């Protein structure tokens, strides 16, 4: 048997139009002065106005903060702390894609515990509990609202740091598929592929448990059903709901089983070539699945819905890799590393950086710089 310890810390409210209930939910948690962390796109889309109104209707003060960008870094977190410190907020609402949720968590760490993000690298380093937070994702992607980790880049090296604490988990995840309708097509595709990569990688890690498998497999089904649907019919609310819930479940799986070689290899590409996270995963993941095949075929077969397939059925990994390539094509993400400007000569250095990523240590096939070279070469 594989033991596990799972303590749900987050209430999940999943409904069409659920965003209108944020004021009531915040009031129930005794929020009085809220730091509303939302990227500028959320203002334009009208989501900030909707959330502000719902909170103010409950006589909750709203202090909005928008000064950050994609892949929030340590400098943006420090700016957020400086902004928030004199405001004496008692709570946070994080609204937007993964960047908004990570930024809100990052600010929460340094606002409540001082120091810099580097002090919280790893897990459980906060001495005082973080401020209670409501997380409202507007893309189906990172599933950050299901996790107690903030992923923050170092402003100098651009490498990602995972900073976790039990109290960094949001109190309520508000999942309203209507909010995802305004995402541009390429955002829907890249965020969606990220979520798919979470389902696939969590399903095979060395840390996976029967519980994480439950979330990985259900996430894969929901995302597999929804991905092509929302790209072909952007207004399909059932497809949007499947994607949002699938991304959340995949995020829950990460919390239990961590990720693997595709995320380890993707991070240096984002840091050095500015290749968006979801796009980097679309380039790499099919090759990682083939590279893992000798160890993980049976688990890939189970993910694909054939629990009775055995390791000798070598087709499962190849079938999965092809399905992932189909997803990338439909999403306009079918690319090679060369298309992304990566030169063969850069591979040894990228591989050294990939091998240093914590996340790679959970990959089912032992992953090191040599393995990273093989994966990058295959994706070139
Ligand atoms: Zn990811």
DSSP category for residue 128:
S
Predicted local distance difference test score (pLDDT) of residue 278 = 96
Supply the pTM of this predicted model.
0.96
* Rounded distance from Cα 195 to ligand 1 centre (Å): 7
Average pLDDT, the chain: 95
Mean pLDDT, range 15-35, rounded to an integer: 98
pLDDT-derived band at 35 (thresholds 50, 70, 90) equals: very high
Asked if the model's pLDDT at residue 147 lies above 90, the reply is: yes
* Rounded distance from Cα 278 to ligand 1 centre (Å): 7
Q: Is the CB of residue 65 less than 8 Å from the CB of residue 80?
A: yes
pLDDT-derived band at 374 (thresholds 50, 70, 90) equals: very high
Q: Is the CB of residue 102 less than 8 Å from the CB of residue 73?
A: no
* Rounded distance from Cα 89 to ligand 1 centre (Å): 30
Mean pLDDT, range 141-146, rounded to an integer: 96
Asked if the model's pLDDT at residue 312 lies above 70, the reply is: no
* Rounded distance from Cα 49 to ligand 1 centre (Å): 29
* Rounded distance from Cα 17 to ligand 1 centre (Å): 27
Asked if the model's pLDDT at residue 311 lies above 90, the reply is: no
pLDDT-derived band at 313 (thresholds 50, 70, 90) equals: low
Asked if the model's pLDDT at residue 307 lies above 90, the reply is: no
Residues 6+ apart with CB under 8 A from 376: 265, 337, 342, 347, 350, 351, 354
Mean pLDDT, range 364-370, rounded to an integer: 98
Predicted local distance difference test score (pLDDT) of residue 314 = 61
Q: Where are the alpha helices (DSSP H) in the chain?
A: 22-28, 40-44, 47-56, 74-84, 98-113, 185-202, 210-232, 237-257, 261-273, 277-303, 315-330, 347-355, 369-379
Predicted local distance difference test score (pLDDT) of residue 309 = 54
Tokens of 202: 């969590």
* Rounded distance from Cα 192 to ligand 1 centre (Å): 10
Is residue 160 classed as helix, strand or coil in its secondary structure?
strand
* Rounded distance from Cα 362 to ligand 1 centre (Å): 14
* Rounded distance from Cα 351 to ligand 1 centre (Å): 18
* Rounded distance from Cα 194 to ligand 1 centre (Å): 5
* Rounded distance from Cα 264 to ligand 1 centre (Å): 10
DSSP 296-340: HHHHHHHHTT-TT--TT-THHHHHHHHHHHHHHHHTT----TTTT
Predicted local distance difference test score (pLDDT) of residue 85 = 97
How many other β-carbons are positioned within 10 Å of the β-carbon of residue 169?
Answer: 22
* Rounded distance from Cα 37 to ligand 1 centre (Å): 21
pLDDT in tens, 259-283: 999 999 999 999 999 999 999 999 9
* Rounded distance from Cα 162 to ligand 1 centre (Å): 12
* Rounded distance from Cα 352 to ligand 1 centre (Å): 20
pLDDT-derived band at 57 (thresholds 50, 70, 90) equals: very high
Residues found in the chain: 380
* Rounded distance from Cα 57 to ligand 1 centre (Å): 36
Rounded Cα distance between 268 and 281, Å, is 12
Mean pLDDT, range 87-112, rounded to an integer: 97
DSSP category for residue 269:
H
Rounded Cα distance between 104 and 107, Å, is 5
Of the candidates 219, 94, 81, 187, the one whose C-alpha atom is nearest the C-alpha of residue 144 is 94
pLDDT in tens, 331-365: 999 999 999 999 999 999 999 999 999 899 999 99
* Rounded distance from Cα 199 to ligand 1 centre (Å): 10
Q: Where are the alpha helices (DSSP H) in 97-184?
A: 98-113
* Rounded distance from Cα 81 to ligand 1 centre (Å): 25
* Rounded distance from Cα 297 to ligand 1 centre (Å): 22
Percent of the chain clearing pLDDT 90 (strictly above) = 93
Of 166-175, 218-227, 286-295, 297-306, the range with the lowest mean pLDDT is 297-306
Tokens of 43: 């203002």
Predicted local distance difference test score (pLDDT) of residue 199 = 98
* Rounded distance from Cα 361 to ligand 1 centre (Å): 16
pLDDT-derived band at 165 (thresholds 50, 70, 90) equals: very high
Rounded Cα distance between 237 and 178, Å, is 7
* Rounded distance from Cα 197 to ligand 1 centre (Å): 7
Predicted local distance difference test score (pLDDT) of residue 159 = 83
* Rounded distance from Cα 201 to ligand 1 centre (Å): 10
* Rounded distance from Cα 31 to ligand 1 centre (Å): 31
């Amino acid at each position: 048997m594989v033991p596990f310890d799972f303590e749900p810390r987050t209430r999940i409210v999943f409904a069409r139009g659920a965003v209108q209930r944020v004021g009531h939910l915040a009031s129930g948690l005794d929020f009085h002065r809220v730091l509303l962390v939302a990227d500028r796109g959320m203002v334009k889309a009208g989501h900030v106005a909707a959330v502000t109104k719902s909170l103010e209707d409950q006589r909750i003060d709203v202090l909005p903060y928008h000064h950050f960008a994609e892949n929030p870094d340590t400098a943006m977190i420090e700016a957020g702390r400086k902004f928030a410190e004199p405001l004496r907020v008692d709570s946070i609402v994080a609204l937007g894609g993964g960047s908004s949720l990570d930024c809100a968590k990052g600010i929460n760490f340094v606002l409540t515990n001082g120091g810099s993000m580097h002090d919280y690298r790893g897990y459980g380093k906060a001495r005082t509990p973080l401020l209670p937070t409501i997380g409202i994702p507007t893309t189906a992607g990172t599933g950050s609202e299901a996790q107690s980790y903030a992923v923050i880049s170092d402003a100098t090296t651009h490498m990602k740091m995972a900073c976790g604490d039990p109290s960094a988990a949001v109190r309520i995840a508000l999942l309203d598929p209507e909010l995802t309708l305004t995402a541009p097509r390429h955002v829907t595709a890249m965020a969606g592929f990220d979520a798919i990569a979470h389902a696939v990688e969590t399903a095979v890690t060395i840390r996976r448990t029967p519980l994480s498998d439950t979330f990985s497999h259900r996430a894969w089904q929901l995302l597999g059903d929804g991905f092509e649907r929302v790209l072909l019919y952007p207004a399909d609310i059932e497809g949007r709901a499947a994607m949002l819930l699938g991304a959340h479940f995949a995020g829950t799986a990460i919390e239990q089983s961590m990720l693997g070689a595709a995320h380890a290899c993707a991070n240096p590409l984002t840091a050095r070539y500015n290749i968006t996270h979801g796009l980097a995963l679309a380039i790499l993941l099919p090759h990682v699945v083939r590279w893992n095949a000798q160890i993980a075929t049976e688990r890939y077969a189970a993910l694909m819905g054939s629990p009775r397939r055995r390791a000798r059925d070598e087709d499962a990994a190849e079938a999965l890799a092809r399905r992932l390539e189909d997803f990338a094509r439909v999403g306009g993400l079918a690319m090679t590393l060369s298309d992304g400007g990566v030169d063969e000569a850069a591979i040894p250095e990228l591989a050294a950086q990939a091998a240093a990523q914590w996340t790679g240590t959970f990959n089912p096939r032992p992953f090191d710089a040599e393995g990273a070279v093989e994966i990058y070469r295959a994706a070139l």
